[in-house]
Amino acid sequence: MDKNVGIEKILITQEQIAARIKEIASQLDKDYAGKKPVCICILKGSFLFFADLVREMKIPLFVDFISVTTDGGLVPGKIKFLKDLQSNIKGKHVLLIEDILDSGSTLYALKKQLEEREPASVKIVTLLDKKARRDAPVTSDYTLFNVDDVFTVGYGLDYAGEYRNLPYIGCLGFTL
Ligand code: IMP
Ligand code: MG
């Protein structure tokens, strides 16, 4: 079946994503000059965004990968590591690269746990920010796009595991 099936509308095109990534990458290059940040890809949703963003950055940096689950619960502070970092972030400048900031409970808990490892700083870079849905006290430091309260898929984002390989961000033809 065609991978576009079920997409009602394209919200953000491939060209818009690429242009915004260039802008944020050059901002990060300025803000992190001389800091060699550890850029952390939060799997699976941010895999494409992460790869494109770090490729546009010109400064020296490190990459690492993490996978967490909220166990279906919405209790802030409760996450389980499915895959932890391989690097020690103590004293390092950390950039958490996320696909979408929704209720914020995942990033709130993740940021809190990583801060216990005593990094020099932790900041959040998110592809999408759905501010209307925020519960947890977490804000993004670098946002590519703000989106309304619609369910988005594509460019890493999934619905039941599908649609991650769309090159654009769209919404499905139904409301959850
Ligand atoms: P939060 O903890 O509620 O902020 O949830 C964040 C996670 O929920 C994201 O990393 C996504 O995996 C998923 N998510 C939230 N909204 C969407 C959406 O519109 N499309 C796809 N996944 C979403
Ligand atoms: Mg997901």
The reply to whether 148 belongs to the active site is no
The reported pLDDT for the residue numbered 112 is 94
Residues paired with 145 in a beta bridge = 128
- Residue 5 placed within a domain: no
Interval 64-83 mean pLDDT: 81
* Containing structural domain, residue 112: 14-148
For a ligand 1 pocket test, name from 70, 96, 99, 163 the mutation site with the most ligand atoms within 8 angstroms of its C-beta: 99
**2, 31, 102, 158: which one is catalytic?**
102
Category of 163 on φ-ψ map: left (φ > 0), alpha (ψ -120 to 50) or beta:
left
What's 4's DSSP letter?
T
Could you count the other beta carbons within 10 Å of the beta carbon of residue 71? 10
Please check whether residue 156 lies inside any domain of the structure: no
**Atom 20 (ligand 1): residue with closest C-alpha?**
152
Q: How far is CA 117 from the centre of its chain?
A: 21
Residue 109 maps to which CATH number? 3.40.50.2020
Q: Residues 109-157: pLDDT tens digits?
A: 999 999 999 999 999 999 999 999 999 999 999 999 999 999 999 999 9
* Domain assignment present for 92: yes
pLDDT higher for 172 or 56?
A: 56
Q: Which residues line ligand 1 (CB under 6 A)?
A: 45, 99-106, 151-153, 157
Domain count, the chain: 1
pTM here is: 0.94
Q: Which amino acid is at 112?
A: K
